[in-house]
Structure 1
């Protein structure tokens, strides 16, 4: 058992309150259990309790064993002097405030129903054959609860991504255009090359690229040079020689810092169309074709408009080469890739901006774009589909992925509406 189970039980008052009393026999009436404290100090604040004939307003601290009070050194911390009731699973000793006064204790071991405890143990037990710990218990959960939790998880996932963008915006001196550039650069790396592309953006400022965006060759020279793909090339490849010459001149002109090396890029288990040089060429084409990034990404009113934004033709050389000096016919940026950029870059960028300017309606509109994109199907969403979770659009996919990453994998069932519904007294295993 973990302590958060007792937090859940106390918060929802899911225990037998018949003849409720402290370890010393004082009758207890819970008038208000208090509010969960996410900061340092007692677990629940502003509780209102009647102990015997006296009404108390104060804090409640939760532990599995009363002796955990000393193990956590609360007896020397004045923040815990406001505790009026010590709620424990097992009361194995008395505890005191810093002034030596004894804190009343309530033991819950005999007051939690065996069915609820068994259900909790099933959720928290060894990994099940399926990805969802609650899979065998899902029949008791109404569809509306599942949908509500998916929507909540979706917003949490979007807010997490928007938080990354907001931190980037802060680091870049509140420049939204530069923020869009850095976010797009990382996005064009997709999963395997997001980190090196993010580092590339740091060593190749947007201000430099802006001065040469009118010339696709120079834009490519800057990107490929700082990425480390022009260090060596076939002397017979005239285009690469030109890029190298342009890069040498521009690097000296702007005093660019050392860039990346070719070995820092990931090619393993990637199809040629996803190779880093291909993505760099597509990014170069976008920077060349679109004079502004942020305004266009913010103002687009539909997925179709955003798909059009990303359709920027690459140079002739990169239509025919997967890597420098390695020929082969290369497809254009695919629709599925554009949709991933919309999910992972455009929506978080728009939500971060909406939060920054205090316009919640823009958040709703940004998240609404996900409902215009087809659902993703992968090994993480498959178990939820098999169990009947709604999965029609990218909004559903993102909600399911958030459920997996934020709740199911870390077994945060007590914080999930589905787990909470399963653990309700009228739903638990008998």
Structure 2
């Protein structure tokens, strides 16, 4: 049994309350269990209890064993002086506040409903190799419960991404254009090179690029030079295009004092990447985008459809980068693909718009931004495939994002009691519909 199960039991009051008493024999009446505390301090706040003849208002702390109170050093933490009841699985020690006064204890283990505990254990004790803890029991869950949980997980995932955007926005002095630039730069790394591209955005401020946005050659020189791709080597030593960019970068880097923050070519990842995903290919696409779309944020904010956003990302790359995978290395290079564009909409555009909508108080923009995901095709990977096999609804990117969030936030960490599906299974007996 885990502590979160006791939290669940207390929150929903799923235990035997007949002749409810503390470990010292004092009668308990729960008038209000309190609400979960997401911050530091006791587990439940604003609880209301009657202990004996006295009514108390305060906090409730929960542990598997009463001795965990001392193990967590609560006896020296003033935040826990407001605790009026210590709810535990087993009572193996008396506990006190910082002033030495004893705190009443309620032991729940003898009062747990055996069938409720068995249903909980069937979920959280499922083999680690099991794709989902609830897989054998999903036939007992109504479709509406699964659908609502996927939607909830989707919104939580979008909110988390929007929180990341808001942190970036704050760090960049509340400049939305710079926020869009940094978010897009990192996203163009498509996981393997997200981190070096995020560092490149810091090493090459948007304020510098803005001064040269009308000259694509200078944009390329800045991006490729600051990324470390213009250093002379045996592949590009006789390449006139690269030599020209190198000369331009040498001038611009000295002008703006960029050399000290430039990246090195060894910092980029190529392992297990298709040539179309090579970092220089992505940089050429970024240079074309920054040249063709000087007002990034405004364009991303005002686009009304996936079709408009897809068109936004289709900037024309110079002929050289359509025939070179990296400086001095010839090869036919495809344009930015539809699947890549869909990922950029999912991971940048939607969170960016939601963050802005929250910032300015436009709930309708949040709704319309999230709705864009329903226009995108479903993603398929090792995580969503598990849910596909179990017949979860999976028709669009909205479903995919919800399923990914369900896996990461609930199924993988076995947070079944926090999931509507697991909650349903724990609460109800296993009776087929």
TM-score computed with the length of structure 1 as normaliser: 0.96
Q: Distance in 2 between matches of 1:349 and 1:267?
A: 28
Q: Distance in 1 between matches of 2:291 and 2:80?
A: 61
Between 102-111 and 224-233, report the one with greater CA deviation: 102-111
Counterpart for residue 314 of structure 1: 317
Whether the aligned pair in 2 keeps the contact of 1:119 and 1:428 (CA below 8 Å) is no
Determine whether 1:221 maps to 2:245: no
Give per-residue Cα distances to partners, 1:19-57, cap 9 Å, x unaligned: 222223232221111111122222111111222333222
How do 1:242-253 residues align onto structure 2 when only pairs under 5 Å count?
Answer: 242-253=244-255
Q: Distance in 2 between matches of 1:107 and 1:401?
A: 38
Determine whether 1:42 maps to 2:70: no
Q: Distance in 1 between matches of 2:261 and 2:72?
A: 49
1:427 offset after TM fit, Å? 4.9
| Aligned residue among 293, 296, 321 for 2:296 | 293
Determine whether 1:87 maps to 2:87: yes
Counterpart for residue 408 of structure 1: 411
Q: Distance in 2 between matches of 1:254 and 1:73?
A: 54
Give per-residue Cα distances to partners, 1:167-202, cap 9 Å, x unaligned: 111111111111111111111111101111111111
Between 247-256 and 233-242, report the one with greater CA deviation: 233-242
* CA distance 1:99–1:174, change in 2 (3 Å): closer
Q: Distance in 2 between matches of 1:358 and 1:4?
A: 35
Between 75-84 and 234-243, report the one with greater CA deviation: 75-84
Give per-residue Cα distances to partners, 1:351-400, cap 9 Å, x unaligned: 11111112121111110110110110110001111112111110100000
Counterpart for residue 200 of structure 1: 200
Q: In the comparison of the two structures, how many residue pairs are matched? A: 429
Counterpart for residue 152 of structure 1: 152
Whether the aligned pair in 2 keeps the contact of 1:34 and 1:59 (CA below 8 Å) is yes
Q: Distance in 2 between matches of 1:425 and 1:291?
A: 57
1:124 offset after TM fit, Å? 2.1
Counterpart for residue 116 of structure 1: 116
Q: Distance in 1 between matches of 2:150 and 2:288?
A: 37
* CA distance 1:98–1:170, change in 2 (3 Å): closer
Unaligned runs of 5+ residues in structure 2 are: none
Counterpart for residue 420 of structure 2: 417
Determine whether 1:358 maps to 2:361: yes
Counterpart for residue 334 of structure 1: 337
1:236 offset after TM fit, Å? 2.3
Q: Distance in 2 between matches of 1:188 and 1:92?
A: 56
Whether the aligned pair in 2 keeps the contact of 1:319 and 1:331 (CA below 8 Å) is yes
Counterpart for residue 16 of structure 1: 16
* CA distance 1:87–1:331, change in 2 (3 Å): same
| Aligned residue among 391, 396, 409 for 1:388 | 391
Determine whether 1:325 maps to 2:328: yes
Whether the aligned pair in 2 keeps the contact of 1:421 and 1:427 (CA below 8 Å) is no
Counterpart for residue 59 of structure 2: 59
Q: Distance in 2 between matches of 1:264 and 1:343?
A: 26
1:235 offset after TM fit, Å? 3.0
Counterpart for residue 279 of structure 1: 282
1:137 offset after TM fit, Å? 2.1
TM-score computed with the length of structure 2 as normaliser: 0.95
Q: Distance in 1 between matches of 2:62 and 2:27?
A: 19
Counterpart for residue 210 of structure 1: 210
1:428 offset after TM fit, Å? 9.2
* CA distance 1:268–1:409, change in 2 (3 Å): same
* CA distance 1:31–1:159, change in 2 (3 Å): same
| Aligned residue among 238, 242, 256 for 1:240 | 242
* CA distance 1:78–1:167, change in 2 (3 Å): closer
